[in-house]
Amino acid sequence: MSSHRRDVYSYWVGIICALPEELTAMTAMLDETYTETDDIVQQDGNAYTLGAIGKHNVVITCLASGTYGTVEAARTVDKMMSSFPNTEYGVVLMVGICGGVWSEAVDVRLGDVVVSQPTGRHGGVVQYDFGKIDKDGQFLPTGALSKPPRQVLTTLSKLRADTALHGSGLPRHVSKMFSEHSHLLTEFGRPGTEEDRLFQWHYRHQSGSTCAKCDLSLVQKRPIRPDPDAVQVWYGNIASANKVMKHAADRDRIAQREGVIAFEMEAAGLMDTACALVIRGVCDYADSHKNDRWHNFAAVAAAAYAKELLLAYRSRKMPGEKRIREPVVIQDAGAGAG
């Protein structure tokens, strides 16, 4: 832990989490944590974790406990970018968990990572609850959300190429995290592959917090992976809305129509303000069988990918270089400020 003093202009990377478990995983991935605070930070209503990954100073914040959705995400990132102005010129990441959409073409499994990448007519994130009703009574999303900055997308290309040549760094980051925070292994370790079950789309969850009473004969048959415990990374459009997706028929209909491979609840609130890259670990299949069993490890997988990305990312200006904005004075800023 470092006590060397830095100011708010030293931070070019901002990370938003929606849940405390996601914040825990992301914080545990830091190479170094900092202790300093700043009066302007204390006044904006967010709570921040400060540290470093590789050469990058990183500021992490989480949505207020018990809140969720695109509006709260927009409020949180706006305050962060006001308090740490250079994050507007660096990179903003949304890191956490999601519901995955399995298909024969995209073999998403629990514990995998999904990364928002412009695909087809979308910029990486699709707000599927904002749109219009067409003449046939069908709901159609309208408008297009901003895509991540070009420098972030070129880093994705380089990272994908490096991974193909040299293998993924995610296992190394996860192993290092658990070696330094061994007490997290019990709650954040990877569940067994036998606990990854995708039920056929028409079969609804029976009862209880687990699928103990569900009919295992109705589990979708899928190919056996050569390394079942390996985290795979998938790139494509992510669906975002102010509601939890837990209906398989709706999941598949929207996924086919919009070309999305995952569902979550916050990213659409960030895109026009921060042009964020969204990194999500798959914790369920966005159906009625969803439960919390894979939440923590999915958060770890997403955090590990965020670290891998930042180690490959080269910002146009590194921390400590000339400031590009004057200090921002926050008027009337408090816990309830919008």
Give me the pLDDT at residue 44, please: 86
Confidence of residue 128 (pLDDT cuts 50, 70, 90): confident
pLDDT higher than 70, residue 132: no
User: Quick one: which of 26, 14, 47 has its CA closest to 298?
Assistant: 26
Give me the pLDDT at residue 138, please: 62
Give me the pLDDT at residue 43, please: 77
Measured between alpha carbons, how far is residue 232 from residues 95, 111, 156, 194 in Å? Answer: 16, 8, 15, 17
pLDDT higher than 60, residue 91: yes
pLDDT higher than 80, residue 195: yes
Q: Which residue has the higher pLDDT, 332 or 226?
A: 226
CB 106 within 8 A of CB 236: yes
Confidence of residue 328 (pLDDT cuts 50, 70, 90): very low
CA dihedral 117, 123, 126, 132 (to 10 degrees): -160
pLDDT higher than 70, residue 3: no
Give me the pLDDT at residue 316, please: 59
User: Mean pLDDT score of the chain, rounded to an integer?
Assistant: 88
**Angstrom distance (rounded) from CA 151 to CA 157:** 10
**Angstrom distance (rounded) from CA 144 to CA 304:** 29
Helix axis angle for 295-312 and 150-166, nearest 10°, is 100
Q: Which of 88-92, 151-155, 270-274, 280-284 has the lowest mean pLDDT?
A: 270-274
* Domains of the chain (ranges, CATH numbers): 8-221+231-312 (3.40.50.1580)
Q: In the predicted model, what is the mean pLDDT of residues 102-130?
A: 92
User: Quick one: which of 22, 82, 6, 101 has its CA closest to 299?
Assistant: 22
Quote the percentage of the chain above a pLDDT of 70: 85
Q: In the predicted model, what is the mean pLDDT of residues 156-164?
A: 95
Give me the pLDDT at residue 147, please: 87
If you count DSSP H runs as helices and E runs as strands, how many of each does the chain have, helices first? 9, 12
Query: What would the pLDDT profile of 206-234 be if each residue is shown by its tens digit?
Result: 988 899 999 999 999 999 999 999 999 99
For the beta carbon of residue 212, count every other beta carbon within 10 angstroms.
Answer: 8
pLDDT higher than 60, residue 85: yes
Q: Which two tokens stand for residue 13?
A: 């990377």
Confidence of residue 2 (pLDDT cuts 50, 70, 90): low
Element spanning 25, H or E: helix 20-28
Q: In the predicted model, what is the mean pLDDT of residues 55-74?
A: 91
Give me the pLDDT at residue 54, please: 95
pLDDT higher than 90, residue 299: yes
Give me the pLDDT at residue 68, please: 81
Give me the pLDDT at residue 239, please: 95
Give me the pLDDT at residue 271, please: 86
CB 55 within 8 A of CB 251: no
pTM exceeding the 0.85 threshold for the entire prediction: yes
**Angstrom distance (rounded) from CA 291 to CA 285:** 10
